[in-house]
Structure 1
Amino acid sequence: MGFLSILPPAIAIALAFWTRDTIISLFAACFIGVLLAGKGILGFPELLTNALGNGDFAWIFLLELFIGILIAFFQRTGSMKAFTTYVEKRKLSRKRVQLLTWFMGMFVFYSDYFSSLFVGSTMRGVSDKARISREKLAYITDSTSAPMSILVPITAWGVFVSGLLVGIGPIKDNSEAFSVFIQSIPFNFYAIITIVLVGLIASGIVKDFGPMKKAEKRATEEGKLIRDGAKPLISEELTDIQPYHKNKVLSLKLNFLVPVLIIITIAIGTYIAIDSVKTMEAFLAAVVFLGIVMRLQGIPLPDIMDTALNGIKGVMPAVMILAFAYAINTLSREMGTANYILDVTQSWMTPMLIPLIAFFAAAIVSFATGSSWGTYGILIPIAVPLAVVMAGGDINTSVLATIAAIAGGGVFGDHCSPLSDTTILSSTGAASDHIDHVKTQVPYALVGAGICIILYLFIGFIT
C-alpha cells in the first residue's frame, strides 16, 4: 500500500510520545490502520483475532502470566525483600548496584525475554534502596538483553539468523551458516557498543546525559523513583504485596534461589537437549514448585490463589500493550510496511554503502514494526544475497558486515520503538513508565548508532 503502509506504526509512535498513554495510542493506530486498509469498522475485531489467535502471542501471554505469578510469590514469601536485605548488608554503592545489574543482564544471555523481566524484577528492590531511577534500571536491563542474545551464537537468536543464511551464495547448510554467523559477530558494532556503553555509564566513567540525567537527579535528590504522573507497567496489585509471615524470615535459598535455578536449568538444559529454549515452561515449573513450597510453609491455599491472581492483574498493563503491538505488527505486514521501506532504500545500495544501508533499513523496519526477528526474516534474504553478488560470490568482509549490520540494526530499532516486545518487558520488569523508558534510552541508542555509521562507512571504503 506504499506510503499509507507506514502510517499506522507512525501514528502509534507519535501518539505514544504525545499522550504518554501507550495502550490508547496503539488502539487508535490499529483502528485507523484498519480503515486505511479498506476493511471497515468490522475489520478491527478481525485484526485482533488474526494477531492474537496464534501460538506466538499465546506463548508470550502465558510467559507474562507465569512471570507475574512468580514475582507475586516471591513477594508473598518475603524472598524478594530478603534478597534486597541480603544485598544491602554488602553495603553496595549506587555504582556497584548498577554494575551488578549489568553483570546479571549479561549472564542471563540465553533469553532476552527472561533477562528483561528477571533482572529488572530481581534488582528492583535493591535499585530502589540505592535511589536509582526506574528508567535507569529499565535501560540497563533492556540494553543487556537483546544485544547480548544476538552476540552469543548458542542462543535462539543465533540459530534463527543462521537458519536464514542457509542457501545464500556459497552457504550450503546449517554448519556453514553457523560458521558465517560467528564470523560476523565482531562486526555487530551496535550490540557491542551498547553493552560496553551500559558498563561505562553504570560505572560512572561516562556520565548520564539527556532525559536520563534528569531522571537520575530526580531519584537521587528527591527520592522519586518515577516521575509524578508516571504509569508503571506493573500495577499496585503486584508491587504492594506484603509477606504472609510478618515476623518470620523464610528460607531465601528455598523460596528464591531454587526457583531461579529451576528456570536457568530448564532453559539451558532444553537448549542443549532439543536446541530450543523452553522459557515459558521453565517459569511454569518454578511457579508450581514455589506454590507447593508456600503451602508446606503454612500459607493457606486460598491465599496462594489470591496471590497468583494479583500477580496476573499486575502484569495486565504490559499484556494489553503487547496485544496491540502484535496487532500493529500484523497490520503492518498485511499493508506491506517493510516492503515499502525496502523499495525506498534498495535503490541506494552500492558495494561501498551496502553495510550502512542494511543497518539503516533494519533500524527503520524494526522501529516501525517493533520486531527484531521479523526484520531479520525480511531483510537477510534480500540484502545478504545482494552483498554476496557484489562480492563476486564470496563471503568477504563486506558480506559479514552486512549480516552484522542487519542484526545490530534490528536491535537498535527495537530499542527505540515503543512497540517493541523486549522494550515493553524491560519496562515491566523495572516497573517503569514505558514511554519514559523509551525516551531515556533513545539518546544512548543514538550514540551507539552514530558510532556504527562511522564504522560501517569505514568498512565500505576499505572493502
Structure 2
Amino acid sequence: MHGVATLGFVSVLPPLIAIVLAFWTRDTILSLGIACVIGVFLAGEGLLGFPNLMKQALGNEGFSWIFLLEIFIGILIAFFQRTGAIQSFSEIIGRRQRSRKRIEISTWFMGLFVFFSDYFSPVFVGTTMRKVTDKVKMSREKLAYICDSTSAPVSVIVPITGWAVFISGLLIGLGPIQNETDALAVFTKSIPFNFYAVLSVVLVGLIASGIIKDFGPMRKAELRAQQEGKLIRDGSTPLISKELTNIDPYFKNKLLSIRWNFFLPVLIIITIALGTYIGLGSAKTMEAFLAATVFLGIIMRFQGIPTKDIMDTALNGIKGIMPAVMILVFAYTINALSEQMGTATYLIQITEAWLNPGLLPAITFLLAAVIAFSTGTSWGTFGIMIPLAVPLAIGFSGGEIDMIVLSTIAAVAGGGVFGDHCSPLSDTTILASTGAAVDHIDHVRTQIPYAVLVGIIGLVIYLTLGLLGL
C-alpha cells in the first residue's frame, strides 16, 4: 500500500464535495457530476480528463455487470406491474397482514430471507412490499431503511454468500490461513464479532415491532406519512421514474396467475443465484434476472399480451431505472478518481501510527467506515483493509488466530457496511432507494441516525474488548 501515489488531503476532496453537495442540493446526480469535474482538475488532468475518466471507470466488466443487472431489474419490475403480479401479491399480503406493525415485521422477515444477494434483496423487498406499506401509510423512507439494513448486514454475516466468499478469498495466504477451507472457517468464527451488522439487523426488528420508537428525521417522515398521507416528501425526486411506477395491469378486469407471473420468476432468480453459488462458487445474480425476465416475457405473450406491448413495457422499465443508473455511472466515476488520487492510501497513512493491539479492531472499524463512506463501496474497502489490517493483527497475536484477529476481520466487514449505509455513493443504498421509490438523499438522511447509533455501540464494544486485553 505504501507504494501507491497519493495527492494527500486533496485526494479526499472529490468524494467530500460530492457528499456535501448531495445533502445540500438534494440532487445526487448533479452533485456527483460537479465533484467529478472538480476532481479531474484537482488531479491536473485538464479538460479531457473527465471523458477519459468516465471511459476508464465505465469501460470494464464490473460496471457492465451492475448496469445490466439494473436494466433487467427495471424490465422485470415493469413486467410484474403490467401482468398485475405486484398488485396480486400485495393483496395476498394485505389480507393476511392487516396491522401496520405486522406488515413492518413481515418486510423485515422478507429482507432476512432474501440473504443471498445484497443487490436482489433491497429491490425485491421494496418493490413487492411497496403497495402493502403504502396502504398502511408507512413512509417510503422507512421502507428503504428496512430494505437497506437487512441486505448488506445479512449478506456479511451469513457464511454462504458472495460476501463471505469474497472476504474469505482475501484472507487466503495471510499468516496461518493457507487455503479456502481455512479462510472460510476463520471468516465464520469472526461473525459473532461483527457487531455492526448483527446489531443493525436486530435494530430493524426492534423498530419494526415498535419496541424502539422511530427517532430523528425518520420520525418526521413517519408522522408526515401517517398524519398527512404523504408517503414521500413534497418536492422530492423518487429514485425511480413515473414510467416504472405508473404501469397499470394490461387486463383491467381479470387477474393473471400469480404463480406464473410472480412466484415462478422469483423462483428462477433464487434457483439460479443459489445454484450457481453452490456449483460455481459465485452467485450469477445478473444472469438470474436475465433468465427470469426472458421467461416472464414469454409467459406474457402466451397469456395474450401483444408483443408490441411487451416491448413497450420493457422500454418503460429501462427508462424507469435510469435515475439509479445515472447515479451509479457517476459513483463509479468518482470511485475511479479516488483510486487514481490515492484517497484510501492517504486515509491509511494518517492513521497507521495510532495502531496497537488493543485499539486495532476499533481503529480498523473506523477507518473501514471512512473509506466506505468516501468511496461508496464495501467490497473495495474490504480489498484495501484486509491485506493491511489482518496481517497486523496476526503479527500482534504471534501468528495465531485469536480474538484480536477475528475482531479485526469482523471490524473490517462491519465498518465497510457502516460506511456504505451512510454514503449516498453506495450502490446497495441506491438500490434500496430504487426499490422503495423514494428520494435517494431522503433515504440516506433518515437512515444515518440509525446507522450511527449502531456504529457507536459497535465501536464502544471494540474499545471495551481492547481495554480488557481481548
Q: How does 1:371-450 map to 2 (within 5 A)?
A: 371-450=377-456
CA deviations on 1:150-189 (whole Å, 9 max, x unpaired) are 0001111001111111111111111111111111000000
Q: Percent identity?
A: 67
Q: How does 1:157-196 map to 2 (within 5 A)?
A: 157-196=163-202
Q: Counterpart of 2:272?
A: 266
**Which residue of 64, 85, 88 maps to 1:58?**
64
CA deviations on 1:85-119 (whole Å, 9 max, x unpaired) are 11222242111111111111111111000001111
> How far apart, CA to CA, are the structure 2 residues paired with 1:27 and 1:91?
43
> How far apart, CA to CA, are the structure 2 residues paired with 1:387 and 1:77?
54
> How far apart, CA to CA, are the structure 1 residues paired with 2:247 and 2:169?
44
Q: CA deviation at 1:458?
A: 1.3
Q: Which amino acid aligns with 1:182?
A: T
Q: Counterpart of 1:105?
A: 111
Q: CA deviation at 1:315?
A: 0.3
Q: Which amino acid aligns with 1:14?
A: V
Q: Which amino acid aligns with 1:146?
A: A
Q: How does 1:193-272 map to 2 (within 5 A)?
A: 193-272=199-278
Q: Tell me, what secondary structure is at the counterpart of 1:9?
A: helix
CA deviations on 1:122-177 (whole Å, 9 max, x unpaired) are 11111111111000000000000000000001111001111111111111111111
**Which residue of 86, 108, 118 maps to 1:80?**
86
Q: Counterpart of 1:326?
A: 332
Q: Counterpart of 2:463?
A: 457
Residue 12 (1) aligns with residue 12 (2)? no
> How far apart, CA to CA, are the structure 1 residues paired with 2:359 and 2:237?
42
Q: Counterpart of 1:143?
A: 149
Q: CA deviation at 1:254?
A: 0.9
Q: Check the 8 A contact 2:126/2:147 in 1, yes or no.
A: yes
Q: Which amino acid aligns with 2:446?
A: T
> How far apart, CA to CA, are the structure 2 residues paired with 1:81 and 1:12?
38
> How far apart, CA to CA, are the structure 1 residues paired with 2:308 and 2:93?
32
Q: CA deviation at 1:387?
A: 1.0
Q: Which amino acid aligns with 2:78?
A: A
Pairwise CA RMSD of aligned residues? 0.7
The unaligned stretches of length 5 or more in structure 1 are none
Residue 352 (1) aligns with residue 381 (2)? no
Q: Check the 8 A contact 2:97/2:103 in 1, yes or no.
A: no
Q: Counterpart of 1:118?
A: 124
The alpha-carbon distance between structure 1 residues 247 and 364, as it changes in their structure 2 partners (threshold 3 A), is same
CA deviations on 1:292-339 (whole Å, 9 max, x unpaired) are 111111111000000000000000000000000000100000000000
CA deviations on 1:354-373 (whole Å, 9 max, x unpaired) are 00000000000000000000
**Which residue of 280, 284, 287 maps to 2:290?**
284
> How far apart, CA to CA, are the structure 2 residues paired with 1:416 and 1:358?
17
Q: Which amino acid aligns with 2:392?
A: L
Q: Which amino acid aligns with 2:362?
A: L
Give the TM-score normalised by the residue count of structure 2.
Answer: 0.98
> How far apart, CA to CA, are the structure 1 residues paired with 2:93 and 2:383?
42
Q: Which amino acid aligns with 2:146?
A: I
> How far apart, CA to CA, are the structure 2 residues paired with 1:91 and 1:135?
20
Q: Tell me, what secondary structure is at the counterpart of 1:112?
A: coil
Q: CA deviation at 1:454?
A: 1.1
**Which residue of 285, 309, 312 maps to 2:315?**
309
Q: Counterpart of 1:95?
A: 101
Q: Tell me, what secondary structure is at the counterpart of 2:350?
A: helix
> How far apart, CA to CA, are the structure 2 residues paired with 1:248 and 1:130?
25
CA deviations on 1:56-90 (whole Å, 9 max, x unpaired) are 11000000010100010011111111111112222
> How far apart, CA to CA, are the structure 2 residues paired with 1:265 and 1:40?
49
> How far apart, CA to CA, are the structure 1 residues paired with 2:93 and 2:125?
14
Q: Check the 8 A contact 2:76/2:317 in 1, yes or no.
A: yes
Q: Counterpart of 2:43?
A: 37
> How far apart, CA to CA, are the structure 2 residues paired with 1:155 and 1:180?
15
> How far apart, CA to CA, are the structure 2 residues paired with 1:41 and 1:416?
32
Q: Tell me, what secondary structure is at the counterpart of 1:151?
A: coil
Q: Which amino acid aligns with 2:256?
A: L
Q: Tell me, what secondary structure is at the counterpart of 1:121?
A: helix
The unaligned stretches of length 5 or more in structure 2 are 1-6
Q: Check the 8 A contact 2:123/2:436 in 1, yes or no.
A: yes
